[in-house]
Structure 1
Amino acid sequence: MATSRSPHDKECTVDLGAQYISATPEYAKLHTSYYEELISAGVLAPLTTKVVGMKVTDEGTKHYVTPSGVSSIVKHFIKEADIDTKFGHHVSSIETNDGKWNVKTQQGEADDFDAVVLTMPVPQLFGLTGSVKELLENDEKLRSNLLAVDYSSRYALGLFYEKGTSITLKDGEASAQYVTNDPIIRFVAIDNQKRGAEGNAPSVVIHTSVPFGKAHVEKTPEQVQPMLVKRVQEMFPEWPEPNFIKCQKWRFSQVSSAYPGLPGCVTLSDGLVVGGDGFTHSNMDGCIESAKAIAAAVVQYVSKCKHMMSKV
């Protein structure tokens, strides 16, 4: 859920990850309170424009867009939680320390916590040191289940234009289209139009195909960007030059093989929980289901601690 902004116009934004939210009748009912909250706050709005090639989903499925960008979903819940959020801290080590968890970052910062929740892509767990590494090495079944989690990889390209620029797809009524039988491009969208923000400067997002992402996963965005720009120019020669381009690499994109049993989360040790879409599936409803499982695990641990303290 990443929204990028043009350095020339803060109102010109593009979603380089999730493009729209699809709520099946089952999840719309199960997660009614979350959808109603987001719609009421103006974070979600119905998708009203045409998307060529969209997969036929369950009858009654509703599609939503985010007028202010898909990152507004995350920002909404952070704001409602009233928490102190610190960004740009790369965790490197997690150690047990006198009943607490000591978390260290690559920058050398450290702090102790009663409970720790990890929601990074599952393969990144194996890059951590300390007690986490020991827990993963000493439980063969857990390690095997975590190693079974697999993700697709892809690149995304964001094109930003000046206000007043005319950008259209081949189907003039469509705001987005899925591309078939192309070795590089899988999805193209006039992002501001798709999100109902036609008053803003145009922005375009391009997603690569899964095979292309897999073939070039070890390259850098700087190496791949010229390839994507060239292909876009071939597909849409009538488009003018953008005034800014951003290439995004998603090494871990959508989950292609989730944790066996889809538990939502797994408790590695008392007060140490791992979760995220790798334990459910890669859409907003999968994230909500994982969050609910994580919250239940943390509450259970806190209740256990309080019960033990009451006995002392």
Structure 2
Amino acid sequence: LLRRELPNKAKISGGEMSTSRSPKDPSCTVDLGAQYISAAPYYARIHMNYVNMHTVYHHSGAEVLYERHVTHIHQKDTGWEVCHKAGAPDRFDIVVVTMPVPQILQLQGDVESLIGENQRRMLEAVSYSSRYALGLSYKADTQIDIPWAAKYVSSNPCIHFIAIDDKKRNLGQCLHIFLLSSLTPDAVKPIILEELEKVMPGLPQPDSIKCQKWRYSQVTGSVADCPGQMTLHSTASAGSALKGFKVLKSSL
């Protein structure tokens, strides 16, 4: 029997896969996190029923536990004890940590001693860029005469990607702008809107606007020779743990 849990420190699911709703029209949704996932044809086919990025969480088949801010990970016999800010700790056979590297290095417990000195140096060298996403929500009867659903923008120093979320899901009228900046959301919002007018002049007045900052967005400097993951610890039971991980991977 394989029991899977996804601790999430937020009150709602999503994280960088979050889908936002207009405060004036809940049917108007916009993906302010990941806009797409590159996938082989097989995975694209079996996941084609996803309505938005938010639903990826729930299609994983795991139990999502909200407001579980993980603080400590301890090694207990052949398993692991995961502690969080509220409630009793949980026990697991396998722990897969997917948070940004700087947050992994802040974890307490046995994680600190399990990371070797050389591994820590490599992890501390990992760098990220920050991103901002701006969502513009429009009333359902607003006409936005744009023939495409999404495109990259190479001619603007501020805006890098634009998507018309309505064309992806046919739900409400939401425009998503994705850009690179180091400013605060309040400071960057008028700059984005000014640059957007240059890229897409004549857009109607939005019904609501939301600006979202992703502090850890894209990896700009990864760990050498460790594409996508690093094994921090292995034991004599690593063989059985890897078998369990393969079962977990095949079910996602």
Is 1:143 the counterpart of 2:126 in the alignment? no
Aligned in 2, Cα 1:299/1:162: closer, same or farther, shift over 3 Å?
Answer: same
**Residue number among 37, 45, 62 corresponding to 1:36 in the alignment:** 45
Q: What is the identity percentage for the equivalent residue pairs of Structure 1 and Structure 2?
A: 40
Is 1:247 the counterpart of 2:211 in the alignment? yes
Residue 36 of structure 2 corresponds to which residue in structure 1? 20
**Residue number among 124, 144, 155 corresponding to 1:167 in the alignment:** 144
Whole-Å separation in 1 of the counterparts to 2:192 and 2:227: 38
Deviations 1:39-89 (A, max 9, x none): 3xx23xxxxxxxxxxxxxxxxxxxxxxxx212333322x2xx3x3220232
Whole-Å separation in 2 of the counterparts to 1:263 and 1:239: 41
Deviations 1:115-172 (A, max 9, x none): 3211111221111112112223xx122113323433222100011111011123xxx4
Aligned in 2, Cα 1:22/1:300: closer, same or farther, shift over 3 Å?
Answer: closer
Residue 299 of structure 1 corresponds to which residue in structure 2? 242
Task: Count how many residue pairs are aligned between Structure 1 and Structure 2.
Answer: 227
Deviations 1:193-220 (A, max 9, x none): 1x1x33x2210001113xxx2x33xx3x
Is 1:238 the counterpart of 2:217 in the alignment? no
Does the Cα contact within 8 Å between 2:71 and 2:108 map onto a contact in 1? yes
- For 1:245, the aligned partner's letter is I
SS at match of 2:154: coil
Question: TM-score scaled to structure 1, two decimals?
Answer: 0.63
SS at match of 1:85: strand
Is 1:2 the counterpart of 2:11 in the alignment? no
Residue 207 of structure 1 corresponds to which residue in structure 2? 178
Task: Compare the two structures and name the one with the higher helix fraction.
Answer: 1
Residue 182 of structure 1 corresponds to which residue in structure 2? 156
Does the Cα contact within 8 Å between 1:175 and 1:189 map onto a contact in 2? yes
- For 2:149, the aligned partner's letter is S
Aligned in 2, Cα 1:175/1:263: closer, same or farther, shift over 3 Å?
Answer: closer
Root mean square deviation of aligned Cα: 2.8
Question: TM-score scaled to structure 2, two decimals?
Answer: 0.76
Whole-Å separation in 1 of the counterparts to 2:30 and 2:113: 41
Residue 58 of structure 1 corresponds to which residue in structure 2? none
Unaligned runs of 5+ in 1: 44-67, 272-295, 304-312
Unaligned runs of 5+ in 2: 1-16, 247-252
SS at match of 1:182: coil
Task: Note the 1:89-128 alignment, pairs <5 A.
Answer: 89-107=68-86, 109-128=88-107
